[in-house]
């Protein structure tokens, strides 16, 4: 009996006491596998971080849309460039057996995103003849991180807005747009042959990841439209209302960013200073909108590097003419766009895909930053002709819906209108309903690229003031085209200038090319209140001086220096400058102006050889100056006047004034 019991005991011990599959040991449980992703529904190209952990495991094996052998816990960043559903499985094994867990990712895109070089530039031509560079807004990593402009509202102050467009409607704030024609909430486009505002809205806020059309710079930002531009809508009272300066039709209280992709036409005379009521509307918005943080006004610098007259394009300089594109002088200064002579507005110049000035972009000391407006998008093989500076890409954006209206329509001859590449034909397989256009350009196109980045900044830090936004843009933009400079008769006309505060500014580019990643990171880290109280010196005037200047001469007006003392409570640092000039000369386009700051920095503020030929006869005009940002307010300010033509005709500075805004 004892022998039998002993045998049974030995047998039980040898069996190990359990079954278990895969050679498992019964007293060790099978692994538990935890698997998660930081994002399971997102835009592509993009990335997500997969995290896993497992108890009672010795190794793990990935399968599905990833592969490899891994440890029992860890993280992996997965970069994905194609839309669709992706499945990720992790199987972990241990002494107690094996187990697995799976997750699915829903990955969305926009079919025409691959042509939107301003968002991600891989050298694509966007149907033009060629591309000459790979510069873009640098926002791909921002979007991949989940910052998409959520919470920001952009007002498209323009010609109209097609609220029902398939790629815009989901981002339209219901009932908050305004139509100045019919006094209702539907700002229908005035023109059926292409609506500027609808295209601009697509650049800022086309819906992202809906698997149709294009993508906005801030694809989750919201939009409203105010059709104040064009026709009888374009009145001073309507403009004041659309900017938030009245209690009329437009509901501006919820607006964060006002995108103003419009400007003045070039003309033969100096423009009068900005209408005081419109200036007051801007100031009101900066002081009171966004619960006192201030509305952010963004506008285009103008498209007047050259001048179109009688169907010819003229280039400005000492040898003004149609065949002198190398003259290197602008025909019109950005400061002649009078909105850019006040501190409340961000002036935007345009770049093409190579990262240099678009052929049309107006320069000036008032420029704050450069966005992307591209060129004309002509395809020479398609049209049979070349366009000066225009065979590189424009921007892909929304168009009026249907092939019977908009920039892309059926029935337009090849090479006519905007039928200048195959996408514009009205029958392209990727644009069968003609709801999109590949030829949006101009500083008016560059402006919404900046508005979109600002929307991303506001999602990262929603309590930024309008001044904070300007400061971050000035501090994070990238220098480009570093060797671009012109000296004429010994005087600097344009170059990169490092001012006494260390800020770098160029009259072509402002503080440089927008850098989306840097701007959003700086916004996230920004300490509110850093700039202190905003101060305004008011106008400081020379009074009537009637000081003559000679032809072919450069003179520093030492005897009419203007002295400014900073307010007692102020840090005494410049944020923006306005100069007002009263001048009499029969050759105004022979005159160039510079400003000498108390810190010793000389900046060009007016280029010679513009198209202005009418004697101003002492009527004042204003110039905005961004380039001395951060310098000291206090001290003597001096005007420098140059006459570049040896014709015996000089002129008279009747008076000059300066007004400095700062902290």
Q: What pLDDT was estimated at residue 91?
A: 98
The DSSP H or E segment spanning 419 is none
CB 290 within 8 A of CB 252: no
Give the mean pLDDT of 198-220: 98
Strands (E), 145-266: 153-157, 222-226, 257-260
Pairing of strands 621-625, 553-556: unpaired
The DSSP H or E segment spanning 329 is none
**Domains of the chain as residue ranges with CATH:** 12-108 (2.60.40.10), 111-302+337-478+513-525 (3.40.50.200), 535-662 (2.60.120.260)
Give the mean pLDDT of 438-466: 99
pLDDT surpasses 60 at 430: yes
pTM of the model: 0.93
Closest CA to 229 of 156, 307, 338, 332: 156
Q: What pLDDT was estimated at residue 396?
A: 99
Q: What pLDDT was estimated at residue 186?
A: 98
| Residue 541 DSSP SS3 | strand
Q: What pLDDT was estimated at residue 608?
A: 98
Phi first, then psi, for residue 590 (nearest 5°) are -95, -5
Whole-angstrom CA distances from 457 to 150, 460, 470, 515, 630 are: 10, 5, 11, 11, 22
pLDDT: which is higher, 474 or 26: 474
pLDDT in tens, 51-63: 999 999 999 999 9
Q: What pLDDT was estimated at residue 569?
A: 78
CB 560 within 8 A of CB 542: yes
Whole-angstrom CA distances from 15 to 20, 63, 237 are: 12, 35, 94
Contacts of 79 (CB under 8 A, 6+ apart): 45, 46, 47
For residue 265, how many other CB atoms are within 10 A of its CB?
7
pLDDT: which is higher, 28 or 23: 28
Q: Can you spell out the DSSP letters for 508-536?
A: TTBT-B--HHHHHHHHHHPPTTTT---EE
Q: How confident is the model at residue 12 (pLDDT cuts 50, 70, 90)?
A: very low
Q: How confident is the model at residue 81 (pLDDT cuts 50, 70, 90)?
A: confident
Pairing of strands 395-398, 436-440: antiparallel
CB 200 within 8 A of CB 156: yes
pLDDT surpasses 60 at 9: no
pLDDT in tens, 277-304: 999 999 999 999 999 999 999 999 999 9
Q: What pLDDT was estimated at residue 17?
A: 36
pLDDT in tens, 167-207: 999 999 999 999 999 999 999 998 899 999 999 999 999 99
Long-range contacts of 231-238 (CB under 8 A, 24+ apart): 231/181, 231/190, 232/181, 233/180, 233/181, 233/190, 236/275, 236/277, 236/278, 238/180
pLDDT: which is higher, 358 or 11: 358
Give the distance from CA 117 to its chain's centroid: 14
Give the mean pLDDT of 575-593: 98
The DSSP H or E segment spanning 595 is strand 591-596
Closest CA to 249 of 176, 161, 178, 155: 178
pLDDT: which is higher, 106 or 137: 137
Q: What pLDDT was estimated at residue 25?
A: 57
pLDDT surpasses 60 at 656: yes
pLDDT surpasses 70 at 87: yes
Q: What pLDDT was estimated at residue 13?
A: 40
pLDDT in tens, 375-427: 999 999 999 999 888 899 999 999 999 999 999 999 999 999 999 999 999 99
Contacts of 619 (CB under 8 A, 6+ apart): 270, 272, 582
DSSP letter (8 states) at residue 357:
B
Q: What pLDDT was estimated at residue 3?
A: 40
By mean pLDDT, which of 5-19, 27-41, 327-341, 496-510 is the weakest?
Answer: 5-19
| Residue 456 DSSP SS3 | helix
CB 206 within 8 A of CB 111: no
Q: How confident is the model at residue 82 (pLDDT cuts 50, 70, 90)?
A: confident
The residue count for the chain: 663
pLDDT: which is higher, 57 or 42: 57
| Residue 335 DSSP SS3 | helix
Helix residue spans in 410-525 (DSSP H): 443-460, 466-476, 516-525
Q: What pLDDT was estimated at residue 24?
A: 55
* CA 640 – CA 596 distance, rounded (Å): 7
* CA 121 – CA 134 distance, rounded (Å): 5
DSSP letter (8 states) at residue 7:
H
Pairing of strands 491-494, 497-498: unpaired
Instruction: Kindly report the average pLDDT of the chain as a whole number.
Output: 94
Give the mean pLDDT of 89-113: 96
Give the count of alpha carbons within 13 A of 499, CB side only: 28
| Residue 94 DSSP SS3 | strand
* CA 152 – CA 313 distance, rounded (Å): 40
| Residue 101 DSSP SS3 | strand
* CA 506 – CA 478 distance, rounded (Å): 11
Q: How confident is the model at residue 20 (pLDDT cuts 50, 70, 90)?
A: very low
Q: How confident is the model at residue 11 (pLDDT cuts 50, 70, 90)?
A: very low
Q: What pLDDT was estimated at residue 324?
A: 77
Give the mean pLDDT of 578-592: 98
* CA 656 – CA 179 distance, rounded (Å): 41
Sign of the alpha-carbon dihedral angle for 222, 226, 230, 231: positive
Give the mean pLDDT of 73-98: 94
Q: What pLDDT was estimated at residue 10?
A: 38
pLDDT: which is higher, 386 or 5: 386
pLDDT in tens, 633-650: 999 999 999 999 999 999
Q: What pLDDT was estimated at residue 574?
A: 98
For residue 273, how many other CB atoms are within 10 A of its CB?
16
Q: Can you spell out the DSSP letters for 468-481?
A: HHHHHHHHHPBP-S
Give the mean pLDDT of 135-141: 98
Q: What pLDDT was estimated at residue 249?
A: 87
By mean pLDDT, which of 305-314, 496-505, 584-593 is the weakest?
Answer: 305-314
β-sheet bridge partners, residue 98: 93
CB 510 within 8 A of CB 301: no
Q: Can you spell out the DSSP letters for 108-168?
A: E--GGGGG-TTTS-SS--TTSS----------HHHHHTT-S-TT-EEEEESS---TT-TTT
pLDDT surpasses 90 at 588: yes
């Amino acid at each position: 009996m004892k022998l039998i019991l002993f045998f049974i005991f030995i047998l039980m011990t040898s069996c190990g006491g359990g079954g278990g599959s895969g050679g498992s040991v019964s007293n060790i449980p099978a692994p538990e596998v935890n698997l998660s992703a930081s994002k399971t529904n997102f835009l592509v190209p993009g990335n997500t971080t997969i995290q896993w952990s497992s108890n009672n495991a010795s190794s793990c094996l990935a399968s599905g849309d990833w592969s490899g052998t891994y440890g029992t816990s860890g993280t992996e960043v997965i970069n994905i460039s194609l839309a669709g559903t992706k499945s990720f499985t992790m199987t972990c094994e241990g002494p107690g057996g094996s187990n697995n867990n799976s997750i699915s990712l829903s990955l969305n895109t926009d079919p025409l995103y691959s042509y939107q070089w301003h968002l991600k530039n891989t050298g694509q031509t966007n149907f033009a003849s060629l591309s000459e560079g790979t510069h873009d807004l640098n926002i791909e990593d921002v979007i991949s991180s989940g910052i998409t402009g959520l919470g920001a509202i952009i007002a498209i102050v323009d010609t109209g807005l097609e609220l029902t467009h398939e790629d815009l409607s989901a981002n339209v704030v219901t009932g908050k747009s305004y139509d100045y024609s019919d006094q209702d909430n539907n700002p229908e486009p005035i023109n059926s042959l292409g609506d500027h505002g609808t295209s601009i809205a697509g650049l800022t806020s086309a819906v992202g990841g809906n698997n149709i059309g294009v993508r906005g710079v801030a694809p989750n930002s919201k939009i409203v439209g105010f059709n104040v531009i064009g026709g009888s809508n374009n009145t001073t009272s309507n403009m004041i209302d659309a900017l938030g300066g009245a209690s009329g039709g437009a509901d501006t209280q919820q607006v964060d960013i006002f995108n103003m992709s419009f400007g003045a036409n070039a003309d033969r005379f100096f423009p009068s200073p900005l209408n005081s009521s419109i200036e007051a509307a801007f100031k009101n918005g900066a002081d009171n909108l966004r619960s006192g943080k201030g509305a952010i006004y963004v506008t285009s610098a103008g498209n007047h590097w050259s001048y179109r007259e009688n169907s010819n394009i003229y280039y400005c300089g000492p040898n003004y003419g149609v065949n002198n594109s190398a003259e290197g002088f602008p025909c019109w200064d950005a400061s002649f766009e009078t909105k850019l002579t006040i501190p409340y507005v961000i002036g935007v110049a345009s770049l093409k895909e190579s990262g240099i000035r678009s052929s049309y972009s107006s320069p000036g000391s008032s420029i704050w930053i450069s966005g992307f407006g591209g060129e004309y998008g002509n395809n020479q093989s398609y049209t049979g002709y070349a366009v000066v500076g225009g065979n590189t890409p424009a921007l892909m954006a929304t168009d009026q819906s249907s092939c019977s209206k908009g920039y892309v329509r059926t029935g337009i001859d090849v090479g006519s209108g905007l039928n200048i590449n195959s996408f514009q034909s009205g029958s392209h397989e990727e644009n069968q309903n003609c709801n999109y256009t590949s030829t949006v350009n101009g500083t008016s196109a560059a402006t919404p690229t900046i508005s979109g980045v600002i929307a991303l900044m506001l999602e990262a830090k929603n309590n930024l003031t309008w001044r904070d936004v300007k400061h971050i843009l000035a501090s994070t933009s990238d220098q480009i085209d570093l060797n671009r400079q012109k000296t004429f008769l010994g005087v600097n006309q344009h170059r990169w200038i490092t001012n006494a505060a260390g800020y770098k500014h160029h009259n072509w580019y402002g503080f440089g090319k927008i850098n989306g990643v840097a701007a959003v990171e700086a916004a996230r880290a920004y300490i509110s209140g850093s700039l202190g109280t905003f101060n305004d010196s008011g106008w400081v005037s020379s009074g009537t001086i009637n000081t003559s200047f000679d032809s072919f001469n450069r003179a520093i007006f030492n005897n009419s220096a203007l002295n400014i003392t900073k307010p007692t409570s102020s840090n005494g640092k410049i944020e923006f400058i306005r100069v007002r000039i009263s001048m009499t000369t029969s050759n105004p386009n022979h005159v160039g102006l510079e400003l000498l700051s108390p810190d010793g920095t000389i900046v060009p503020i007016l280029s010679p050889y513009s198209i202005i030929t009418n004697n101003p006869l002492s009527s004042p005009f204003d110039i905005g100056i961004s380039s001395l940002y951060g310098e000291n307010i206090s001290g003597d300010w001096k005007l420098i006047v140059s006459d570049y033509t040896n014709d015996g005709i000089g002129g008279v500075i009747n008076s000059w004034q300066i007004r400095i805004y700062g902290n």
